[in-house]
Structure 1
Amino acid sequence: MKVIQNKDDLKILGKIIKPGESKEVSFNLAKLHTRTPVDVPIIIERSKKPGPTILITAGIHGDEINGVEIVRQLIAKGINKPKTGTTICIPVLNIFGFINMKREFPDGRDLNRVFPGSKTGSLASRVAYTITTEILPHIDFVLDFHTGGAMRYNAPQVRISKGNADFNISAQIFGAPFVLYSDNIAKTFRNTCNKMGKPILLFEGGKSIHIDNNITNTGVNGAKRILHHLGMLRSNFKVSRPKERPIFIAESRWIRANFSGMFKASIQINGKVKKGQIIGNITDPYGKFNHFVKASYEGYIINVNESPIVYQGDALFHISTKLSD
């Protein structure tokens, strides 16, 4: 990975951070109707020794709490204080959504669908514009933490675009159980980072409005491995190897509900299933109906819908259909 050996002062949102300094910069998003300002804290830690600059973000969707908890732990434990280079942590990008436990901004827009943003656009678009113009130009590498939405529980996984050997190496170093090849979606944060030449790993794990210890531990350990690989992790932090080599998934599909009703999965996340295997059932409240959900193909279960009520067509299981070497 090619990195900038930054020895100079860093200027973020008009604030100067010198090598060796720690500083919290306030990103003023807007004001409430009461004229109360709403600020997003940006925690910046700089070593005196030159090195790469890594951006660690979470909460681009306000209800994705696992990611926020991962970045919180990195800060609380001092993992973000680098041996070399600079770390920039933004635990909650969408503070409005976080306060209200909602995915979107108050304007109803998804922050992760308006990048690179506009200086004169919607509120979400203006926030995206500031991140794109004020922060990303300084960055060498990005870790972006996400969580499954709408009661869908994601197995811990890293998502990258296919065909980039550096991404493959970084994903393997991170050490999540699964690496999912997925195309960049237009106007997402990941797509903008890639267009700007900023390597990014997107981590997905758990479900919204929930904190899961296994997910947060996977995220924290993955971040430590990346920092260690970049020469930024201080020696007082231990780095554990992943228990198993990550499984790279080239293709995957959703299994959807054929009926509406009460739903219960009977297969655990991360498990491998065979075609035709019963993996859940849909019933009615009256004891008259019981439909067994079967796997349409062999593969690994990387997402399970944990909602007790589903409608016909709802996504139930996300399953791998083709692995990559």
Structure 2
Amino acid sequence: MSKLKADVLHILGETIMPGQSKEVNFDVANLHTSTPVNVPVIIERSKKPGPTVLFTAGIHGDEVNGVEIVRQLIAKGINQPKIGTIICMPVINVFGFINLKREFPDGRDLNRVFPGSPTGSLAGRVAHKLIHDVIPHVDLIVDFHTGGSGRFNAPQLRYLKKDTYLNDLAKIFGAPFVLYSKNLSKSFRATCSKLGKPLLLFEGGKSFHIDEVVTNSGVNGSKRLLKHLGMLKTVFKSTRPKNACVFIEESKWLRAKYSGMFKANTSIGAYVEKDDILGNITDPYGKFNYFVRARYTGYIINVNESPIVYQGDALFHISIKIKD
């Protein structure tokens, strides 16, 4: 963590003094109708010096559960720090959020164009603005995501296994699972890592859906993190997680052997044994019924909730190696 900051904050063309609250605009381009697009950035500063934490969501426009987590942090006043500064960006890809689409109007996935370019595509320009105008001011980022394509993720944190600092923070955050994973090329996480900015990526739920358990996991984890940093006001309670976090070193997808109608009968987060029946694939005519069995013993960290699957589709994500 960098030095404590109680100085004047110059960000996105605005000046924010210690103890001030301000909503600034992260604008890049208008809609095709020439209508201005306001992308609010909510900044809360304590008079007392401390770290600067950034909460982000909505890099993918269809991942509304992440947006809901950051919204609750703001609505409940959790983002008003005891010390330091908290910056909230609930919807980064507002263009996709308006249309409930994962990508930008230019068809690009924002999380594959970082660090972006000031003269590139629309997605690239947003990425560049975020990296150059916001990230230099922060000490820690918590980025909220969900599963896509009907696949429901158990609440989990993702980061590089070798990152001992994030490993310590993950234990404090207290999500049910940590999935060690490599940084994807041109992703927000990979770019922040290269800049020396620690980022915890939270995954939970699925696109086009808000789940109370996932939301509570994200909000409660954020409170624990802020309390650890001395930033959570005493009016808010921070409870310990019910169960210890499971650290997953290796995992594999169980894929559909056949196409058909699919129904899972195991719950997210469940511990299963090899050969346990996890669900079944049938045909619309009642002539075929294939039972999907676990090929490994481990935790179910993702379930495909789509009623129709094709041969080769990912059905279950199962842990196969857990850190002792």
Same-fold status (TM-score > 0.5): yes
Instruction: Give how far 1:113 is off.
Output: 0.5
Instruction: Give how far 1:320 is off.
Output: 0.3
Separation (CA, whole Å) in 2 of partners of 1:164 and 1:153: 26
Alignment partner of 1:128: what SS?
A: helix
Supply the AA of the counterpart residue of 2:167: N
Instruction: Give how far 1:163 is off.
Output: 1.0
Write the mapping of 1:78-89 to structure 2, written as runs, cut at 5 A: 78-89=77-88
Give 2:170's aligned residue: 171
Instruction: Give how far 1:285 is off.
Output: 0.4
Separation (CA, whole Å) in 2 of partners of 1:210 and 1:150: 11
- 1:103-157 CA distances to partner (integer Å, 9 max, x unpaired)? 0000000000001111111000000000000000011000100001110000000
Give 1:160's aligned residue: 159
Supply the AA of the counterpart residue of 2:317: H
In structure 2, stretches of 5+ residues that fail to align are: none
Supply the AA of the counterpart residue of 1:98: F
Instruction: Give how far 1:4 is off.
Output: 2.4
In structure 1, stretches of 5+ residues that fail to align are: none
Instruction: Give how far 1:34 is off.
Output: 1.5
Write the mapping of 1:70-81 to structure 2, written as runs, cut at 5 A: 70-81=69-80
Alignment partner of 1:67: what SS?
A: helix
Instruction: Give how far 1:244 is off.
Output: 1.2
Give 1:204's aligned residue: 203
Instruction: Give how far 1:193 is off.
Output: 0.9
Instruction: Give how far 1:33 is off.
Output: 1.8
Alignment partner of 2:22: what SS?
A: strand
Give 2:99's aligned residue: 100
Write the mapping of 1:24-173 to structure 2, written as runs, cut at 5 A: 24-173=23-172
Separation (CA, whole Å) in 1 of partners of 2:282 and 2:74: 45
Q: Which runs of 4+ in 1 moved over 3 A?
A: none
Separation (CA, whole Å) in 1 of partners of 2:66 and 2:2: 25
TM-score between the two structures when normalised by the length of structure 2: 0.99
Separation (CA, whole Å) in 2 of partners of 1:91 and 1:101: 15
Give 1:17's aligned residue: 16
- What number of residue pairs does the alignment pair up? 324
- 1:239-271 CA distances to partner (integer Å, 9 max, x unpaired)? 000111100000001000010000000111100
Separation (CA, whole Å) in 2 of partners of 1:215 and 1:256: 24
Supply the AA of the counterpart residue of 2:4: Q
Q: Identity of counterpart residues, as a percentage?
A: 68
Supply the AA of the counterpart residue of 2:130: I
Q: Does 1:226 align with 2:225?
A: yes
Q: Does 1:240 align with 2:229?
A: no
Contact 1:30 1:39 in 2 (8 A): no
Separation (CA, whole Å) in 2 of partners of 1:308 and 1:120: 42
Instruction: Give how far 1:3 is off.
Output: 2.8
Instruction: Give how far 1:32 is off.
Output: 1.4
- 1:61-115 CA distances to partner (integer Å, 9 max, x unpaired)? 0000110000000000000000000000000000011111110000000000001
Separation (CA, whole Å) in 2 of partners of 1:240 and 1:76: 20
Instruction: Give how far 1:276 is off.
Output: 1.1
Instruction: Give how far 1:8 is off.
Output: 1.1
Supply the AA of the counterpart residue of 1:10: L
Aligned CA RMSD, in angstroms, stands at 0.7
